[in-house]
Amino acid sequence: MTPPTPEHVEANMIEKMGALPESLASAKAIDPRFLVEHAMSSRFSTMDENNPLDTKTSLMIALSTSIAIGNEECAAKQTALLKKNGMTQEELAYLVKLVRHAQSAAVVSNARAAFDAFIG
């Protein structure tokens, strides 16, 4: 399989998301191959034909990750795609609750060394 061209990737992203994400537009200005690399990474993950998860579930996991790492641009684009794939407000609220719980658990886990300094 030959990799797509940067122009093909850009057109596909605009078709699916309504616009090229600003971060990728900036990356493209430096080196258009960033678009192809990003597309290939997506094809290997959420868009993989062998993905055992349905599209909505894959996008919900991606959205959870984007929220957790603070990537607002991706979170906005993924949310738009999820709305098209039938995600409800109730599902979004529960997803955010899960991410919030995971983040708070990480804070407690990251504090272990500090806790242990006082225990023993």
pLDDT averaged over 10-residue windows placed end to end, the chain, 120 residues:
83 85 88 86 75 92 95 94 96 97 93 92
What pLDDT does residue 110 have? Answer: 92
Amino acid at 70: G
| pLDDT for the residue 67 | 96
pLDDT on residue 20? 85
Map out the domains of the chain with their CATH numbers.
Answer: 1-44 (no CATH), 52-120 (1.20.1290.10)
